[in-house]
Chains A and B, each alone.
Chain A
Amino acid sequence: MILLKFLEKSGELGLYYINQAGRMVIFLLHVIISTFKLPYYKVSNITKQIYIIGSLSIFVIVFTGAFTGMVLGLQGYNTLKKFGSEGLLGSAVALSLIRELGPVLAALMVTGRAGSAICAEIGIMRNSEQIDALECMAIDPHKYIMAPKFIATIVSMPLLTAIFNVVGIFGGYLVGVKLLGASEGSYFTSMYKDVEFQDVYMGFVKSLCFGLLIVWICAAKGFYVHYERTGGFGAEGVSRVTTYAVVLTSVSILVFDYFITSLLL
């Protein structure tokens, strides 16, 4: 009897998650199709989203990038010094930033700053019937609301990651060379020599994928807030789904990071 009930419950839960996943995939396809449909686009819509997602994230990206680079300089210098190869500090800092830390940390920061805002905004639009209103005006919300956000995030992520990397490299330079006294010449020469196009390319691909992940998960979670199992209505529903979206996005960024790396290596 108890076993039966358990089976029923877990089946229900399994079905719920399968539905959820299916909805998200359909949502993504719908957005992609509507993005390329109709030549009729408002540049100002996309500009505004790039402003919100990209421009407003610069500060936090520069800040975290600088400190990440600085701590890499500090750690790297002290570790490399044991082997007498402080000369490799530049390439160590640059490689770890470009291949791993830049894309991942920038993506996590953007998730926290912009992803949560996307999810909450769309969730509130859903709950206050604004999305229904759009549909009734025969305006496709996938195209009108989602597509500009998708485009803006996918454009912004590689640029934010690049800013993160460059600021990080100079942060590492500041600590490693100016503060700890590694040789200035070898910091940059080792960097220029050891960083290959392959590395920059890998970081670029990662940042594109992470951008898509962020906007996809956060937008879809907000869009389907009314389907949430735990109740997606009211302010509490939106706040819960936003938290969930941020956690899910962060986890998937780290998981996908592994798979992308293993694919591209």
Chain B
Amino acid sequence: MNKLSIETAVGFFLIIGLLCLAYLSVKLGDVELFGTKLYPVKARFTNVSGLKEGSEVEIAGVKVGKVSKISLYDYQAIVELMINPEVKLQGDSIASIRSQGIIGDKYIKISPGGAEEYIEANGMITETESTVDIEELISKYIFETK
């Protein structure tokens, strides 16, 4: 139990412990430590029922960002998305809320548009499609066929 071995053991312990902690928080907890700087984009929806902070944003099925904030403004839902900087969104992109399977998690699907201009950071996606409310849909279907 000389001095060197104590310090080695403590150093070993601290490094292993910190590595594990880093793995948990970065890999599992999605903490962006040295990660890419995401840029924010806003979108306005009439209904975001089921969407959560942290929900994924996809283009063509590939994850490109996530929902960072959901707030209410003028009786409409304002959703803030954090998007990877490599991904540029055209001015006429369409953001729609979809679900994975009938009862799966809600996510935002972005369909690229054809405009020349790109949306800047803190810009607004104007074209949106809100949640399709399954219950509403079913009841509508039932009552309309009557």
Contacts and interface: CB of A to CB of B under 8 A. Distances in A.
Direct contact between A and B judged by beta carbons closer than 8 A: yes
Interface of A: 47-48, 50-51, 54-56, 58, 94, 98, 156, 158-160, 162-163, 165-166, 191-192, 195-197, 199-201, 203-204
A154 to B, nearest CB: 13
Describe B's contact surface by its main secondary structure: helix
8 contacts: A47-B7, A48-B6, A98-B24, A162-B21, A166-B24, A196-B54, A200-B25, A200-B29
A181 B9 CA distance: 37
Interface stretch (B10-18, B80-88, B124-132): B10-18
A153 to B, nearest CB: 13
Contacts of A50: 10, 13-14
Contact of A166 (B14, B20, B31): B20
B92 to A, nearest CB: 30
Interface in B58-115: none
Nearest to B23: A166
Given A51-B10, A54-B13, A55-B9, A98 B28 contact: yes
Interface of B: 6-7, 9-10, 12-14, 16-18, 20-21, 23-25, 27-31, 54
B28 A200 contact: yes
Nearest to B18: A159
Given A47-B7, A54-B13, A162 B24 contact: yes
B10 A162 contact: no
Most buried by B among A98, A166, A191: A166
B6 A58 contact: no
A111 B25 CA distance: 25
Contacts of A192: 27-28
A195 B10 contact: no
A162 B20 contact: yes
B28 A55 contact: no
A188 to B, nearest CB: 9
Contacts of B18: 159, 162
Nearest to A164: B20
Contacts of B20: 159, 162-163, 165-166
B27 A162 contact: no
A90 to B, nearest CB: 10
Contacts of A55: 9-10, 12-13
B146 to A, nearest CB: 36
Nearest to A197: B29
Nearest to A191: B28
Contacts of B25: 197, 200, 204
Contacts of A158: 17, 21
